[in-house]
Chains A and B, each alone.
Chain A
């Protein structure tokens, strides 16, 4: 089952494409990280998925064929928006009551237990809570709905490292307890390695890299060797080269079993390193199935009206 499936999806805001020619199929039972530079269309894609915005072109289905924004989709998808907006003048308890009123399912008992666990007093106004507590409250509200898909837009961007780690721990707990599928967008690459098992890299509104994290890490290696020999290296596709005066690091598409040239060292690539390499090389792409490079030429059939 695919939690998100899009084909030729495009969204235009006042004359510019925020998302364009985006075709993805995101499988369920994963923690999917959506990464990409600013303006690459991450938030736009998530807004389309949760039904806040409607596509300009293309098709988009969630949770196996459900239309985003339909009652079924609203019921099954919980969304924590950027900066975790909450009603600041409502107490934590009233915030829970509001969520309970607005949803078919809401596990208030577990939500209250969770807030007690976090040390968030029910009587406190949401606006008085710390950034980390507000994020945890928003996440608690989302999880108490028992969603099939949890969508998080830059959930930890404003949090300090400790709150960030606690937040991600709560997400992972929900994944293991309830089997909820998660799609999260993030700038914070270090956190992703620990939580994400599927990654999608967006650039200029298109998909540059997509796949299961383990598979991607297994199919890439970092080779370190003398800079003078780096130019001659041609065994495997080089994604990114980082050259010092004497040593050069090459990120290549290769597996651990591939032979290493004499005088070169090899090591496994980390997710952050891999993501950064692709971010620095707009021309490179790695996609499941037939590979498709992100080209600057776009089909010009649909105009983006101003």
Chain B
């Protein structure tokens, strides 16, 4: 019987890629538990902020309506407010600090870590979708979903914390608070998530990747709060003893006759006895500065004005987003390169 043979490789026509939407169900089915847990953590946190926030706002409305503000009744009510609501706020801050790390590590690390651990990457990377589209189809929607949840949480926290700022004893640039508001919180969450994804691809195990992510994240937040953030913009250096309220003070030192005094050590580290030697009657606050000024000492302060909150937010959000993008790119590179 004659057979018609058609050369199979006659028309090397490139195949159209499989549409992205096909990844939607795959991503949902395989990460719904992790994303459910993340929503539970962030949702629970949001619920806490909402419930305690309403109480706080009501109580603060009463305190701030008190008139005249300097009366003893008003002072006492302000003190009562602080003893009742500051512990809640501290708890909220601690939870907000932990949430991005936990959510990012536990959703990010298993994406590739589990595939390597169970060997299923050999299955899923040999399907028609191709591993690059598969990875993008997972990482991008999950990152967007986490970012949206984190953004909502941080907006709620900003509202929650308003009363404590109107008291104006806190700077919005304070290391424990800065990363919880504005765009920084979302950016930190994305950074934790991308670190988790990268660690999973690099270490190929879920638990080590989670641990590595938490350690890296802790190191990064500490480094940012203690060393990096104060250098985002050149600090303002002032010899004024009357600093703007809510400024973030970076350093304070003294000079006398154009030379550093007290061996150039910071104000906080200057031996109290030595200061008392000059100004025995002055309490160690602003009055001390005035007293030292009379002895020819100049107090210098470098600080970041509170008005730089938003520029700092964009700078921090920006570099964290760049870092996250690099980590995603690194993850894709590892997926492309490290196989079998």
Contacts and interface: CB of A to CB of B under 8 A. Distances in A.
Contact of B127 (A47, A74, A85, A88): A74
A53 B337 CA distance: 8
B25 interface: yes
A75 B133 CA distance: 14
B118 A101 contact: no
Contacts of B23: 101
Give chain A's interface secondary structure class. loop
A103 B18 contact: yes
Interface stretch (B8-16, B210-218, B292-300): B8-16
A71 B122 contact: no
Given A85-B118, A87-B120, A47 B17 contact: no
Interface in A54-92: 54, 63-66, 71-72, 74-75, 77-79, 81-83, 85-88, 90
A52 B125 CA distance: 7
B126 A51 contact: yes
A77 to B, nearest CB: 7
Contacts of B340: 43-44, 47, 52-53
Given A1-B8, A81-B122, A71 B339 contact: no
A287 interface: no
A104 interface: yes
Contact of B124 (A53, A102, A105): A102
Contacts of A64: 8-9
B116 to A, nearest CB: 11
Nearest to B15: A71
B29 interface: yes
A103 B129 contact: yes
B285 to A, nearest CB: 62
B227 interface: no
Nearest to B21: A101
A272 B102 CA distance: 56
Interface in B4-36: 8-9, 12, 14-15, 17-18, 22-23, 25-26, 29-30
Contact of A52 (B8, B22, B126, B128): B126
Contacts of B48: none
Contacts of A85: 118-120, 122-123
A200 interface: no
16 contacts: A44-B340, A52-B340, A53-B340, A63-B8, A64-B9, A71-B14, A72-B12, A72-B15, A77-B126, A81-B123, A85-B120, A87-B30, A87-B120, A102-B26, A103-B128, A105-B128
Interface of B: 8-9, 12, 14-15, 17-18, 22-23, 25-26, 29-30, 118-120, 122-130, 134, 339-340
Interface of A: 1, 43-44, 47, 50-54, 63-66, 71-72, 74-75, 77-79, 81-83, 85-88, 90, 94, 97-99, 101-105, 138, 145
Given A63-B8, A72-B15, A102-B124, 18 more contacts: A52-B122, A54-B339, A66-B9, A72-B14, A74-B126, A74-B130, A82-B119, A85-B118, A86-B120, A90-B30, A94-B29, A97-B29, A98-B29, A101-B22, A101-B25, A103-B127, A104-B18, A105-B128
